[in-house]
Structure formats: C-alpha cells, structure tokens
C-alpha cells in the first residue's frame, strides 16, 4: 500500500509477535510487516517447552500463531532465516540466506540464549542449554540411547528440564551451586519442601557444588566438581541463566550493556529502531520472565500505533513452577530484607506453606507452596502498594481468623482492577476475560481460552479464570462447564460423531455451522479431527479436505528443523530389491540429498530435501509414500522369519508385506505401527506395537495396544489364530474398532487402557460383527489413492503445489 510504513522485525518469539498482535489491532493497515525468525517454526510458546520435552505436548499444541495467521494478516515471514547485519544508514537488514529487507521502522526482538558455563569440555557432544525446540529434540533423542542426565542449575528452568528428562525415563541429577533450590524465588522452608517432593518423584540433587570440568572424548562421559568429586553423565543440560542476544545490535552501533539499552518507550539509541524482550536492558535490568516482556510490548505497540502511553517503568515479577504435581508461587521480596516483617503458615502433613512479607503495612512479597490459588490476588496487592493493615492474617490464611473460610476467590477477583494480568503466560488481563464473558458469550474455560488465550499455556491461571466465570455468571457458572474437543465447541468427540450421523453432515464447514461452533473457521485442533471423523463415517461420499490437514500431510513429507523435508518411500515389510535400491540412490544423487538413513521401521529416509523438489522427487521415485508424516499406518516391521532364520516358525516377511499392502493409506485417529515376529524371540519387537503378530507353532499370537515411545507400554494378548487370513481379518477388525471409537490423537495404547481389553475382545469375538468391521475398513481404504499419484498424474495439481512454495520464504 502506498501510505504504509515498512515495519521489519528481527525475531519471531513471544515478546515481538505480541507487539505485532497489538499493532494490528491498534493501527490496522498502517504497517507493511516483515518478520525474520531463525527457527523454522511459527511463533510458539517457549514457556511450554518443558511439556514438549516431557512428551505430553507436541509442537503443534504450543503454537501461538500458526502459519495461517501470518498469511491472513499479510505478514511476510522468513522462517529459518537468521539476520546477520543491520544497516541503520541504508535502513535495511540482511539474512544469512541473502534476503534483504528495507525498513522505515525496525524492531529488534532477538531474545536470549542459554548461558553456558565456561568450563573445560563445555563444547562436547551431549552438552546443551534449554531454550528452544531443537534442545527438546536433542534431549528426547538422547533419552532413547543414554541413561544418565545431569542438569546444572536448580532454578525454575533447571527443575522443569529435570522433570521432563525424568518423564523420558532418564536417571536425573540436578546440580546446584546454592544450598537451596530456586533460591532466587523461594525461602529456605519452601525450598526444603520442594526438594522433598521432587526427591519423591525420583529426582536426585547435588547441592553446593561448583562444576569444574566436563570429561569425555567426543561425547560427555562425566562431570567433575571443585571439591574433587565426579558424577557420570551422558547428557548435561545447563540451566544456569540466560544472556541477551545483543551482538547484532552492537555490530550496528547501538548502545549495548548487558542487553540492548532502551528507554521507557523501548527506543534504542538510534532513531526508528526499537527493541523489546529478553534482548533488552531497561533501567539497568534485563528481564527473563514473560509477563514483563508483554508489559514492554504493550507500551511499544501503543508507541508504534501513535497512541498515548505513559511508558514502561519496570516490573514486579512473579514466578510459578510448572513441574508435575508441585504447585509453587513466588512474588516480590520473599527473603525478608531489613525493614520488613513476615507471617508464615506451615503444614507439613498436607504439604502446604504460605508466607507474606510486609513493609510499612504494605504487602511486598509472598511465597506459596502446595496451595497457590491466592497467588493472583496477592500479586495484585503487591503491585498496587496499598495498605493491608488489619488484613494480614486473612491474606495469609485465605480467611479471617475465627470465621469461616470465605468464598474468597471471587471476592479477591472482584477487587482486582481490569488491567491486572490474570494469565501471565499470554498477558491476558481481567478486563479482557470479563469482556469475553460478558460481550462474547464465553461461558466456559475452553471458550475463554479460545477467545483470549488465558489458561492456554501452563494452565496455572485456570482457577482464576474459573473464579471470574463464577463472578460474572453467578449460578450459571456454578456447575462445571463441560469442555469440548477444543475451545470452539462444548461438544465432545462422541457427541460430535453422533450428531454428524444423525443429521447426515458431510463437510467440515457444515459441521461447524450446524453444531454452532463459536469460531466459524475452527482451529488447528478441531479442523483435522472433524476431517478425520467425516472420512471415517462417510468413506465413500466424503471428499478429504486437504486444507484441514497438518502441514506435513499436505506436503507429504516431514518438515525438519532447518526448513528442509524428509521423504520416506514405502518399502513393504522392510523387503526391497537391488533395482529399487538403485532407483532410490539415483534419485537421492540427482536431488543432492545430503543424508540417507535407515529408519527404525526398516525403510530409507531421504533427509534434507528442498520443498520445491518434492513433486519431482516423488515423480522420479515412482513409489508409494511411506506416510511417515501422517496419522495413519506408518510401518510394518518384520524379521526374516522361517524364510532364513533357523528359529522361525512362520513367514514373517510375507505376512508383514501382506498386512502393509492391506492397510496402507488407512487414516486413523493417530499414527499406527505394526510388526510381525517369526517366532517368540520377537526380534521385530511386535509386543510394543499398536498391533503385533508373533508366530508360534501352528499359528499366530495377536497383540494389541503397545507403544515403544516416551510412555512405553507392552501389548495385551488379544487372541491366538491359526491362518494368515484370520490374522488379516482380526487386524482389520481391531483397527476399524479403534478408528470408530477412539478420540482424535489418541494412540491405541491409551485407547486400549481406556476402554479395556474385555470390551475389545467382546466386540471382536462374534465372527459376523468382526467381518462387518473388516468390511468397513476395506471400504474406507479402497476410496483412498496414494496422494502422490494425484500430484504426479495431474499437471494442474502439480502447479497448485508449486504455487504454495515461494522462491525464498519458508511458509506453510
């Protein structure tokens, strides 16, 4: 647009994108926006990395603004591009891939990096920080091979990393230089209670230890300390602090100290260049928590939009620990500095500790352990600085001494000002939540989450959100409000499927409209699930909606951390031929594939493929997709069986190939893996697969519900059959029963535990019903062609695909 200003932002993190969100609302159409992000991902919630590490959350679950958001708002995103230089004179920036962007206004939001202790051996393989998705992936991969993990740092981030590594099955020791955990947030009493609780969960601690040297040849083997002691370590995670990423600004001539120096309006020392977030230093302080960074962002957005603002004057911070089973809250001055007095309550039996710190009758600090529901109201009083004379015991205990416990929470919430932040992770105020409830019809936590993002991250503010619902809706919110499959609906999976059947709904849009979705376009959680349910219910009539599938499924390849793709052709049962291998090798050479790897599922993975090469590569391979990216049949792993092995009792390879050809292209609620072992020695690991087949003398054992991932689960024995045809029929019937009854994204291991093995056996024991289930899965699969046949056979489809691939920017 002719009258727009060019706004370029360096950094695609939480603080910077929050500024852009505000600018789009306050000054729509004023700026032509370009964003450079070093990571090949859209904007995601870094606070939730500990949940991703622990395996309970996927990257898609912590995305704040998906790829569509950038496109819908006209934002040019260069993901996977690191800006290497700023030219303040010519007003342009340049990325490491040669992309140049001129600006009228530049916003630097480069965040911070993990501080790595400068000790010998810190550069060895297996020594990392904990700041981004890549770090999570490294730790998850290490847990598959190695046992001993050491986390250096007993603060907030270190304990979250340690909990995640415990969930991955590693033996975890936390090393801390202080005598008390979280010593910057907790006093000695709360720290001691926290240590006991985490030890009970399996965490080990070495306190008052100074790390001195990391040992090992190429990879870390141990860590030694200044007192001469040593500990074995296959993985060392440093969580000892952060350092602002300010080198780019320093090289451009901006004033830099610990961080990029900014004034109260987030202006740097150079005109029209602003900075926000962890890369900055404001009044001598560099903040590392998200709430202050969002406060900075709100001020900067107003400045950029031409809206009056008093400026940013600094923040009082609060902390919540997001460790499984432990509730900790800390705010303000917790350590009783001179001139203060404190009040404490401690119940060792119930595991509850509360402490408030006062100065001149004002609340200046609080520590809560075990019961943290009053954290928001206490933090509000600390920020307000008002007198609490006469209310001290009530604040500590949650009720007035001698009286009954107050309904309390609603009273405290009613007293909060509208600009008080309820959700610190996403910077959502009480006023924003009130508006969602009173004017937008949000009557559940899920609806508020979808509308405002409150409670969408760590979930620590959910009690406050529930309290505000009760405050504003009264009796209408007294009963727990049922939450649906996502924040767009209150309907659960079974209700949605029943209504689709009853009313004969045939498209995603139709379902959302008829069932009164609160968000007419849905979200990244409900669109794929509806697409699956419709395809499962109406396999012949329903036309798969590609736009409702995830990115990897639309491109038929797995996106990698550097923005390239991984291509996995199907190799049935892991059995191939010299001519097939030669063809794969020739295609890999032709497209300059940097790495070819054998996968755990006995296939070849071509890694590092450029997006624009995908259509031609599949065309030249002329092989079916191995669907390594989809919620469908991934692999059927086999051993050599009685074809070659002297212990084999059945033809494992032949059975594996038959099953893979039988069920390839099968869509499912989650990924599905099969395996066939030719004897009870079980070399194909069939007893940790979704459906496993183990050969015995004269027949086959059929096993279900296994998982070899983060949460390992051995299979349950379903039955024993005699013939190959029975194996195929029972497999198809089981998979169809799972397809028809599991919720979206629910693995068979979880589904089997939820419904019980007896339910599955009863559903499949009747031969007629079993054959009917098998018939339905065949009908469904028969409607689906290999997706890459469509691309290679249709010029129009190929053109459509290539139109999605910009020449330079990595976009969805």
Higher pLDDT, 395 or 599: 395
Residue 488 assigned to a binding site: no
Domain's final residue, options 263, 279, 305: 305
- Whole-number pLDDT of residue 412: 66
Considering the domain architecture, whether residues 105 and 221 belong to the same structural domain is answered as no
Residue 315 lies in a domain: no
Alpha helices, H only, 683-785: 724-741, 748-755, 757-765, 767-782
Alpha helices, H only, 27-128: 49-54, 59-62, 67-72
Alpha carbon 97 to its chain's center: 27
pLDDT-derived band at 1 (thresholds 50, 70, 90) equals: very low
Instruction: Tell me the percentage of the chain whose pLDDT exceeds 70.
Output: 91
pTM above 0.75, yes or no: no
Q: Provide the residue count of the chain.
A: 812
Within 10 A of 417 (CB to CB), how many other CB atoms are there? 11
For residue 402, give every residue at least 6 positions away whose Cβ sits within 8 Å of its Cβ, in sequence order, or none: none
Cα separation of the two ends of the chain: 24
Considering the domain architecture, whether residues 229 and 255 belong to the same structural domain is answered as no
Q: Is 437 exposed, middle or buried (0-12, 13-18, 19+ CB in 10 A)?
A: buried
Considering the domain architecture, whether residues 667 and 780 belong to the same structural domain is answered as yes
Considering the domain architecture, whether residues 140 and 88 belong to the same structural domain is answered as no
Residue 679 assigned to a binding site: yes
- Whole-number pLDDT of residue 809: 34
The pair of structure tokens assigned to 185 is: 């947030």
Total domains present in the chain: 4
Considering the domain architecture, whether residues 686 and 740 belong to the same structural domain is answered as yes
Half-sphere exposure of 330 (CA within 13 A, CB side): 21
Cα 447 from Cα 441, distance rounded (Å): 9
Residue 60: which of 420, 517, 445, 550 has the closest Cα? 550
Diameter over CA atoms, the chain: 86
CATH number at residue 107: 3.50.50.60
Residue 518 lies in a domain: yes
Q: Is 208 left (phi over 0), alpha (psi -120 to 50) or beta?
A: left
Residue 523 assigned to a binding site: no
Domain's final residue, options 214, 240, 266: 240
Considering the domain architecture, whether residues 236 and 252 belong to the same structural domain is answered as no
Considering the domain architecture, whether residues 184 and 212 belong to the same structural domain is answered as yes
Cα 728 from Cα 771, distance rounded (Å): 11
Residue-wise DSSP of 338-389: TT-EEEEEEETTTTEEEEEEEETTEEEEEEEES--TTHHHHHHHHHHT-B-T
The residue to which tokens 């279900």 are assigned: 704
Q: Please provide the average confidence, as pLDDT, over all residues in the chain.
A: 86
- Whole-number pLDDT of residue 803: 39
Angle at 194 between CA 188 and CA 197, to 5 degrees: 145
pLDDT-derived band at 793 (thresholds 50, 70, 90) equals: very low
- pLDDT at position 354 over 70: yes
- Residue 196 has phi, psi (to 5 degrees) of -60, -40
Q: Give CA separation, 549 vs 70, 373, 552, 564, 733, in Å.
A: 18, 39, 8, 19, 26
Cα 60 from Cα 71, distance rounded (Å): 17
Buried b (16+ CB within 10 A) or exposed e, 671-694: bbbbbbbbbeebbbbbbbbbbbbb
Residue 172: which of 197, 199, 191 has the closest Cα? 199
Considering the domain architecture, whether residues 185 and 50 belong to the same structural domain is answered as no
Cα 25 from Cα 452, distance rounded (Å): 14
- Whole-number pLDDT of residue 480: 52
CATH number at residue 741: 3.30.413.10
For residue 578, give every residue at least 6 positions away whose Cβ sits within 8 Å of its Cβ, in sequence order, or none: none
205 close to 181: Cβ distance less than 8 angstroms: yes
Higher pLDDT, 97 or 552: 97
Coil, strand or helix: which one is 762?
helix
pLDDT tens-digit series, residues 9-31: 999 999 999 999 999 999 999 99
- Per-residue pLDDT averaged across 162-183, rounded? 92
Lowest mean pLDDT among 70-84, 413-427, 701-715, 727-741: 413-427
For residue 279, give every residue at least 6 positions away whose Cβ sits within 8 Å of its Cβ, in sequence order, or none: 11, 108, 109, 110, 111, 112, 244, 245, 246, 249, 259, 260
pLDDT tens-digit series, residues 767-785: 999 999 999 999 999 887 6
Residue 189 lies in a domain: yes
Coil, strand or helix: which one is 203?
coil
Domain's final residue, options 217, 240, 263: 240
pLDDT tens-digit series, residues 179-217: 999 998 899 999 999 999 899 888 999 999 999 999 999
Coil, strand or helix: which one is 68?
helix
Residue 771 lies in a domain: yes
701, containing H or E segment: strand 699-704
Residue 645 assigned to a binding site: yes
For residue 7, give every residue at least 6 positions away whose Cβ sits within 8 Å of its Cβ, in sequence order, or none: 23, 31, 32, 33, 34, 103, 104, 105, 106, 107, 304
Within 10 A of 493 (CB to CB), how many other CB atoms are there? 17
Q: Are strands 362-369 and 352-359 parallel, antiparallel or unpaired?
A: antiparallel
pLDDT-derived band at 438 (thresholds 50, 70, 90) equals: confident
For residue 420, give every residue at least 6 positions away whose Cβ sits within 8 Å of its Cβ, in sequence order, or none: 376, 380, 383, 429, 430
Residue 132 lies in a domain: yes
Half-sphere exposure of 308 (CA within 13 A, CB side): 0
Considering the domain architecture, whether residues 55 and 70 belong to the same structural domain is answered as yes
Alpha carbon 775 to its chain's center: 37
Residue-wise DSSP of 155-171: SHHHHHHHHHHHHTT-E
The residue to which tokens 């919620």 are assigned: 631
Residue 78 lies in a domain: yes
The residue to which tokens 């090469």 are assigned: 613
- pLDDT at position 358 over 90: yes
pLDDT tens-digit series, residues 520-570: 788 777 888 899 999 999 998 888 887 777 667 776 777 765 668 788 888
Considering the domain architecture, whether residues 644 and 776 belong to the same structural domain is answered as yes
Residue-wise DSSP of 255-321: -BSSSEEE-TT-B-SSTTEEE-STTEEETTB---SHHHHHHHHHHHHHHHHT-----------EEEE
Cα 270 from Cα 272, distance rounded (Å): 6
Cα 236 from Cα 230, distance rounded (Å): 13
Residue 519: which of 553, 550, 484 has the closest Cα? 484
Lowest mean pLDDT among 366-380, 503-517, 775-789: 775-789
Considering the domain architecture, whether residues 82 and 146 belong to the same structural domain is answered as no
Residue 592 lies in a domain: no
- Per-residue pLDDT averaged across 699-725, rounded? 90
Q: Which domain holds residue 231?
A: 127-240
Compute the chain's Rg from CA coordinates.
Answer: 29
Angle at 378 between CA 314 and CA 300, to 5 degrees: 25
- pLDDT at position 33 over 60: yes
Residue 719 lies in a domain: yes
Considering the domain architecture, whether residues 107 and 249 belong to the same structural domain is answered as yes
């Amino acid at each position: 647009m002719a009258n727009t200003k060019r706004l370029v932002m360096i950094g695609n993190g939480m603080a910077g994108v929050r500024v852009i969100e505000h600018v789009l609302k306050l000054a729509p159409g004023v700026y032509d926006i370009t964003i450079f992000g070093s990571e090949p991902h859209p904007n995601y919630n870094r606070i939730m990395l500990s949940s991703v590490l622990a395996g309970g959350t996927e990257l898609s679950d912590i995305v704040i603004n998906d790829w569509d958001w950038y496109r819908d708002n006209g934002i040019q995103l260069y993901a996977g591009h690191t800006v290497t230089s700023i030219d303040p004179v010519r007003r342009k920036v340049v990325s490491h891939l040669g992309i140049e962007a001129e600006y009228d206004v530049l916003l630097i939001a480069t965040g911070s990096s993990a501080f790595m202790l400068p000790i010998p051996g810190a550069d060895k393989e297996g020594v990392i920080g904990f700041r981004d998705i890549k770090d999570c992936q490294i730790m998850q991969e290490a847990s598959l091979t190695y046992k001993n993990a050491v986390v250096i740092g007993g603060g907030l981030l270190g304990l979250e990393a340690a909990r995640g590594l415990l969930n991955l099955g590693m033996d975890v020791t936390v090393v801390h230089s202080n005598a008390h955990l979280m010593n910057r947030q907790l006093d000695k009493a709360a720290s001691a209670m926290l240590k006991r609780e985490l030890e009970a969960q399996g965490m080990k601690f070495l306190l008052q230890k100074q790390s001195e040297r990391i040992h090992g040849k190429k990879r870390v083997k141990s860590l030694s300390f200044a007192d001469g002691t040593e500990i074995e370590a296959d993985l060392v995670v440093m969580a000892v602090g952060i350092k602002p990423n300010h080198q780019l600004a320093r090289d451009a001539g901006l004033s830099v100290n610990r961080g990029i120096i900014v004034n109260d309006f987030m202006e740097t020392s150079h005109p029209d260049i602003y900075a926000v977030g962890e890369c900055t230093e404001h009044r001598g302080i560099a903040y590392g928590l998200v709430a202050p960074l969002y406060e900075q962002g709100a001020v900067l957005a107003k400045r950029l939009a031409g809206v009056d603002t008093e400026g940013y004057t600094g923040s009082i911070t609060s902390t919540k620990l997001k460790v499984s089973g432990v509730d900790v809250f800390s705010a303000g001055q917790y350590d009783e500095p001179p001139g203060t007095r404190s009040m404490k309550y401690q119940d060792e039996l119930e595991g509850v500790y509360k402490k408030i710190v006062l100065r001149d009758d004002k609340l200046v600090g609080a520590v809560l352990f075990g019961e943290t529901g009053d954290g928001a109201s206490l933090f509000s009083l600390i920020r307000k600085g008002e007198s609490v004379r006469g209310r001290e015991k009530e604040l500590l205990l949650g009720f007035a001494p001698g009286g009954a416990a107050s309904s309390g929470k609603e009273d405290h919430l009613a007293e909060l000002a509208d600009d008080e932040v309820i959700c610190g992770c996403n910077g959502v105020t009480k006023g924003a939540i009130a508006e969602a409830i009173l004017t937008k019809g949000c009557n559940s936590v899920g609806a508020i989450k979808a509308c405002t993002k409150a409670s969408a991250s760590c979930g620590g503010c959910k009690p406050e959100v529930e309290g505000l619902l009760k405050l504003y809706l009264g009796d209408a919110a007294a009963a727990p409000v049922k939450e649906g499959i996502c924040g767009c609906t209150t309907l659960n999976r079974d209700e949605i499927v029943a209504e689709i059947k009853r009313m004969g709904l045939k498209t995603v849009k139709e379902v959302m409209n008829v069932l009164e979705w609160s968000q007419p376009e849905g979200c990244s959680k409900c669109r794929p699930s509806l697409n699956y349910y419709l395809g499962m219910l109406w396999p012949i009539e329903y036309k798969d909606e590609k736009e409702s599938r995830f990115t990897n499924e639309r491109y038929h390849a797995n996106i990698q951390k550097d923005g390239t793709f991984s291509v996995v052709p199907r190799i049935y049962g892991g059995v191939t031929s010299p001519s097939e291998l030669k063809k794969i090798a020739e295609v890999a050479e032709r497209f300059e594939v940097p790495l070819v790897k054998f996968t755990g599922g006995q296939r070849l993975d071509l890694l590092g493929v450029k997006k624009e090469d995908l259509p031609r590569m599949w065309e030249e391979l002329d092989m079916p997709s191995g669907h390594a990216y989809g919620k469908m049949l991934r692999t059927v792993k086999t051993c050599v069986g009685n074809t070659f092995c002297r212990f084999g009792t059945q033809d494992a390879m032949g059975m594996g190939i038959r099953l893979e050809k039988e069920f390839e292209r099968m869509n499912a609620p989650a990924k599905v893996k099969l395996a066939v072992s030719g004897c009870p020695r079980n070399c194909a690991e069939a007893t940790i697969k979704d459906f496993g087949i183990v050969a015995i003398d004269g027949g086959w054992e059929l096993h279900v519900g296994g998982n070899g991932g983060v949460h390992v689960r051995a299979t349950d024995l379903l039955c024993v059959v005699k013939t190959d045809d029975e194996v195929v029929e029972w497999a198809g019937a089981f998979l169809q029963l799972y397809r028809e009854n599991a919720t979206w994204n629910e693995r068979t291991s979880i589904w089997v535990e939820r419904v019980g093995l007896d339910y599955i056996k009863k559903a499949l024991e009747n031969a007629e019903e079993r054959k009917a289930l098998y018939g339905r899965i065949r009908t469904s699969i028969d409607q689906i062609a290999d997706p890459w046949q469509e691309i290679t056979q249709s010029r129009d489809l190929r053109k459509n695909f290539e139109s999605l691939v910009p020449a330079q920017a990595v976009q969805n």
